[in-house]
Amino acid sequence: MSLRDYKLILGGGGARGFAHLGVINTLHKIKEPKKIAGCSMGGVVASLYALYKDPVIVQSKIDFILNKTEFKRIKIDKFSKVFSSLFTVGRLFRKRHLIKAEVIMRLLEDIIPKETEFSDLKIPLELVCFDMKSGRPIVLKEGRLIPAIVASASIPGIIEPVESDDKLLTDGGVYGSVPFFICDDDLKNIVVDVTYDPPVEFDFSNALEFFYKTVEWQIYFLEKEKRNAILKKDVLVLEPPVKRYTLKNFFNNSIIIEKGLEYSTEK
């Protein structure tokens, strides 16, 4: 693979997003991106790479967080089928979210200096969020980094949204799991998509699961339309073979990273 100047865009995808790091390992050896962007899990990986500009350090920071007792206590892997649990749905009726944003911020402060701002980064970064008040995607490029990361990855109903300047910011994946709309006209764009798959088998006997999978199909077709439109531009889409993994595979990060590495090396 040979590259001219490019912008790297990392989509969401829960645990599948660890494949981004495998791809970054390959690209880093060839040429570093001029810009990097992401949303949700892709935003987390993009932020760490923009800060440290070293895939080995990024992986060590991620491993550190995953091994912390405070992270394991969150049991984020249990939220992969949150809406198929009547108990959890009942909890959501009583509160706006299951995990406070400050809990995630404190975890990130263990691997990112608390006062870090976008201007401190080694690679220009864009994080995509969604403003629940205006119904518009928001691209964050300045200000404090940690609140921006949490906003970009705050899964609606699971992680508390971040309030900022009269906005209620939540996971950028609400607008689309892959933020194709931020492709740059002046650079080649490399987009890493770990979510482009139709929903697979599920339990037809469970009404909540049936509803959940219906929404997944709707999202799939919307993503397909966006994808087809953007492929007319100067865009290279990479799709590591990680569709078998879901959020519940959060602690299989090393395997998923390796999948991304193998795939991108072959490309």
pTM of model > 0.75: yes
Tokens at residue 195, please? 């979510």
Q: List domains and CATH numbers for the chain.
A: 6-266 (3.40.1090.10)
Q: Is the pLDDT of residue 87 over 50?
A: no
Q: Which listed residue (131, 171, 184, 193) is catalytic?
A: 171
Q: Is the pLDDT of residue 96 over 80?
A: no
Per-residue pLDDT at 227: 72
pLDDT band at 176 (very low <50, low <70, confident <90, very high): confident
Q: Is the pLDDT of residue 157 over 80?
A: no
For tokens 């249990």, the residue is 78
Distance CA 216, CA 198 (A): 8
Tokens at residue 200, please? 């697979």
- Pick from 196, 192, 228, 143: which is nearest to 6 by CA? 192
Tell me the pairing of strands 35-38 and 6-10: parallel
Query: Could you confirm whether 171 is annotated as catalytic?
Result: yes
Q: Which listed residue (40, 152, 154, 264) is catalytic?
A: 40
Mean pLDDT of the chain: 83
Per-residue pLDDT at 64: 93
Task: Please give the average per-residue pLDDT across 142-150, as a whole number.
Answer: 97
HEC profile for 193-219? CCCCCCCCCCCCCCHHHHHHHHHHHHH
Task: Please give the average per-residue pLDDT across 46-72, as a whole number.
Answer: 92
Q: Is the pLDDT of residue 80 over 70?
A: no
Query: Could you confirm whether 40 is annotated as catalytic?
Result: yes
